[in-house]
Structure 1
Amino acid sequence: MKALILGTNAGQADIINYLKQNQWEVHACGYRREGPGCDLADKFHLVNIIDVAAVEALALSIQPDIIYSVSSDLAIKTVTTVSEKLGLPHFLNSEIVDLFDHKESFRRFLNENKISDVRFMTLSDLSNLKEWSTFPCVVKPSDSQGQRGVVLVDSAAQLKNAVKNAISKSNTNTAIIEEYLEGIEFSTNVIVQDYKVVVNEFSERYVYGKSYFGLPKGHGLPVRRVSDRDIEVARGMVETMVRKLAIKDAVLYIQMVATKRGPKIIEAAPRLDGCHIWRLIKTAKGYDLREYAIKNLLGKKIEHHSIDRGTYSLYFYQQPTGAIFEEKQYRNSQALVEYQEFRYHDGEKVLPINGQLEVVGYYIIKE
């Protein structure tokens, strides 16, 4: 079997490793030779993952059985478009992928279907700025990936610059303002097969709060600070969303907040997360989301089995953008550390991803 993986970062390295361990021939591509996936793949190709025509031409020359990617919204759009054109296996059609990618469209869908009602508005310029009066609020580009360009705004005086910044970072020059959802953050990795949600695994999301707004410190499993009732409500929200969108097969990552008004959805992505939560789940629950994703993509039935090994957390090693990495300052000597890895070698400069505090590695510990 042969795979073309779009991207070569640490998230893609996880799926490349899985495929290689299962005797796949793996090709990877990116706009420059950077990241651990370059050397892990059988062959690296210098092709920009957002250049649909170039990726299609590469796929025609390689003739892969699948084109795939994890952790990247940009890559998933290209994966879907090229797979549709070439008749290769893919999860969702381009229309649904675009819905997840455009935050205002997705928020409107959630509101109209009474799944997760949150006040919001979209702007392509500053002319209607005075219509927004709810603070604090969150301003973000309508189509950016992850936490790029996401800002917490406490007052009307800060709103103008935040919106201008968000518009500048949006491919469609559009910003979205949403009411700030205060509460405990959590997320779920979801596998849908044959219209049925077969995996809906919730984990707690540890965040910095206002100091590095939106950036995670790590993740915990099981969720400890969200009530069982809220988790059941959130589980129902996922089921309703899948049903309303008539999703047959999919891999989804959904971020939520347990507010005083109940659980609310922050965002959803049609892919596995980029935080290595698959490894946290495998450590704590005994099953591998990477395996499930590939089986699902190939139309092989998933036999889901889960065990309970206890309470685990995944924590990130993090450094400011542009800092020089030194592994010794992050070495964790605790006996309960079950796994750790680093994304950099000594002396390397930490590259900008979110532009604030970058992940340079992570570890998993039994709490």
Structure 2
Amino acid sequence: MDNSISEVPYVILIGGGVEACEGIRVARQMGLKLIVVDGDPHAPGFELADLSLSISTYDGQQLIRACRDLQQDGCKIIGVIAMCADVPVSVAAVAQALGLPGLSLESACWVADKLLMKQRLEAQGIPIPGYAAVKSVEDMGEQAALLGLPLVVKPVDSRGARGVLLIDEEAQFEWAYKVARDESPTGRVMVEEYLPGPQFSTETLVDKGQCYTVGFSDRNYEWLEKTRPHIIENGGDAPTALSPTERQQVVDTVEKAALALNIRSGVAKGDMVLTPRGPKVIEIAGRLSGGYFSTTQIPLATGVNFVEQAIRLALGETLQPSAVASKWQRGVAIRYLDLPPGRVSSVTGEKKAASLPGVEMLRLFVAPGDYVPQLGNHTQRPGFVIATAETKELAVSRAQRALAQIRIDYAQ
């Protein structure tokens, strides 16, 4: 071990994928020394790390052992945070073992398990959809009679919309149960009441029980009728179309939910819906969001460096109100590339699309030779663009125009 390892403190960043690199760069700009953890030995985040640990992000115990080995070699570790990775239990386990700030293990288990989360929120009086665990197709039929159709079926402990289905009729029950069960690492399935109304992504910083909901985006489900029964989101946009009163109602609800889950210091990512009876919580995650929301969209929309503030919380620092106050409200939109299934032969138009006015980020995840699958979850979306403008409407238009420049040809 290099003797220089003991000269400065280090921060553990769990997650080193492509999206995580945006947050890792923020940490580097803060002047921090970084230990990046990822199960992929070729994770791009390792190139930005001072130290790299090729360990599964889900294996908290192995990570604890590796961190203790580093400490024995003189490495001072002062914080841990997940970077665009849904691994709250790993983060909490490391934080507890090393005496670092962060979620308790109890809170981490609540936000990692959708059934435990719903049970806790219900017990705390937070408005949520009707729900139930189901252990068989017969159970699903019984719950459908109580909750009504359409019905949302989902794995208890998966992510990225894997196995999340909107079911309209009894003939789909057996298939839906199997799909959701197969996407659950523990083989557990639950159902939820389908709630009509606009949905929102929120991002809240919590400092000693004080909540700052900085991120607020209207979710876009214009693909729903095409991808159904799979529930696939086609991005989102800000500022919200809600009235100030409606927005505040959603914010109040998500902040109460975060505190009900005992998130007293850290991040609470909310999936919310505004029903005719008021806001309800679909899910709360105790981590930075994916989809470049926390890393890119919130700073563009508000001027707040959200990831920096989340890292400061992980270091045990107190947030300054001026640092989390929106500096502006700018139009921001993310939209995903819509492609039919097939084998790709060529991809053109990317440079032209990226050069258009307002285009802040363009990423394509397809190349010649790749096979584009039928969309079944969020990880299969083949590319996206993030655009900005003075208004939300113009940002959406710019995003759509950029995607229209992309030409994908298929092998015959």
TM surpasses 0.5? yes
Correspondence list, 1:294-309, <5 A: 294-303=311-320, 304-309=324-329
Give the C-alpha shift of residue 151 in structure 1: 1.0
The match for 2:89 is 77
- 2:149 matches 1:135: yes
8 Å CA contact retained: 1:200, 1:235:
no
For 1:12 and 1:220, the matched residues in 2 are separated by: 21
- 2:92 matches 1:88: no
1:215-263: CA deviation from partner (whole Å, max 9, x where unpaired):
2222211111x34333222122123224434432120110112222322
Correspondence list, 1:41-80, <5 A: 41-62=49-70, 63=75, 64-73=77-86, 75-80=87-92
For 1:164 and 1:107, the matched residues in 2 are separated by: 22
Deviates more, 1:22-31 or 1:215-224: 22-31
Closer/same/farther in 2, CA of residues 305 and 227 from structure 1, 3 Å limit: closer
The match for 2:403 is none
Give the C-alpha shift of residue 356 in structure 1: 6.9
For 2:84 and 2:112, the matched residues in 1 are separated by: 13
For 1:55 and 1:129, the matched residues in 2 are separated by: 38
2:53 match: secondary structure: strand
1:80-102: CA deviation from partner (whole Å, max 9, x where unpaired):
11221121232x11111111121
8 Å CA contact retained: 1:321, 1:356:
no
The match for 1:360 is 383
- 2:49 matches 1:38: no
8 Å CA contact retained: 1:320, 1:350:
no
- 2:13 matches 1:14: no
1:196 partner letter = Q
The match for 1:336 is 357
Closer/same/farther in 2, CA of residues 284 and 239 from structure 1, 3 Å limit: closer
Closer/same/farther in 2, CA of residues 315 and 87 from structure 1, 3 Å limit: same
Give the C-alpha shift of residue 194 in structure 1: 1.4
Give the C-alpha shift of residue 308 in structure 1: 1.9
1:280 match: secondary structure: helix
The match for 2:279 is 263
- In structure 2, the gaps of 5 or more residues are 1-8, 395-412
For 1:117 and 1:11, the matched residues in 2 are separated by: 30
1:197 partner letter = C
The match for 2:196 is 182
Closer/same/farther in 2, CA of residues 350 and 195 from structure 1, 3 Å limit: farther
Between the two proteins, the alignment pairs up a number of residues equal to 364
Closer/same/farther in 2, CA of residues 325 and 183 from structure 1, 3 Å limit: farther
Deviates more, 1:47-56 or 1:347-356: 347-356
1:276-308: CA deviation from partner (whole Å, max 9, x where unpaired):
113222112111101110111222222233222
Q: TM-score, normalised by structure 1?
A: 0.89
Deviates more, 1:196-205 or 1:95-104: 196-205
For 1:116 and 1:139, the matched residues in 2 are separated by: 19
1:363 partner letter = I
8 Å CA contact retained: 2:206, 2:263:
yes
Q: TM-score, normalised by structure 2?
A: 0.80
Closer/same/farther in 2, CA of residues 322 and 93 from structure 1, 3 Å limit: farther
2:211 match: secondary structure: strand
1:65 match: secondary structure: strand
2:315 partner letter = L
Deviates more, 1:29-38 or 1:341-350: 341-350
Closer/same/farther in 2, CA of residues 246 and 177 from structure 1, 3 Å limit: closer
Closer/same/farther in 2, CA of residues 152 and 327 from structure 1, 3 Å limit: same
For 2:305 and 2:369, the matched residues in 1 are separated by: 31
For 1:155 and 1:354, the matched residues in 2 are separated by: 21
Q: CA RMSD in A?
A: 2.7
8 Å CA contact retained: 2:39, 2:54:
yes
Closer/same/farther in 2, CA of residues 268 and 52 from structure 1, 3 Å limit: same
8 Å CA contact retained: 2:197, 2:275:
yes
1:142-188: CA deviation from partner (whole Å, max 9, x where unpaired):
11123111111111110122112212222232101111122212111
1:65 partner letter = I
The match for 2:402 is none
For 2:121 and 2:362, the matched residues in 1 are separated by: 37
For 2:11 and 2:343, the matched residues in 1 are separated by: 35
Closer/same/farther in 2, CA of residues 83 and 168 from structure 1, 3 Å limit: same
8 Å CA contact retained: 1:350, 1:358:
no
8 Å CA contact retained: 1:314, 1:365:
no
- 2:232 matches 1:211: no
Say which structure is richer in helix: 2
8 Å CA contact retained: 2:300, 2:388:
no
Closer/same/farther in 2, CA of residues 130 and 242 from structure 1, 3 Å limit: closer
Higher alpha-carbon Rg: 2
- 2:136 matches 1:125: yes
8 Å CA contact retained: 2:149, 2:167:
yes
Query: Percent identity between the aligned chains?
Result: 24
2:385 partner letter = Y
Closer/same/farther in 2, CA of residues 117 and 43 from structure 1, 3 Å limit: closer
Closer/same/farther in 2, CA of residues 321 and 16 from structure 1, 3 Å limit: farther
Give the C-alpha shift of residue 335 in structure 1: 4.0
For 1:350 and 1:361, the matched residues in 2 are separated by: 17
1:10 match: secondary structure: coil
- 2:242 matches 1:229: no
Closer/same/farther in 2, CA of residues 359 and 256 from structure 1, 3 Å limit: farther
Deviates more, 1:239-248 or 1:262-271: 239-248
- In structure 1, the gaps of 5 or more residues are none
The match for 1:110 is 121
1:358 partner letter = R
Give the C-alpha shift of residue 365 in structure 1: 2.4
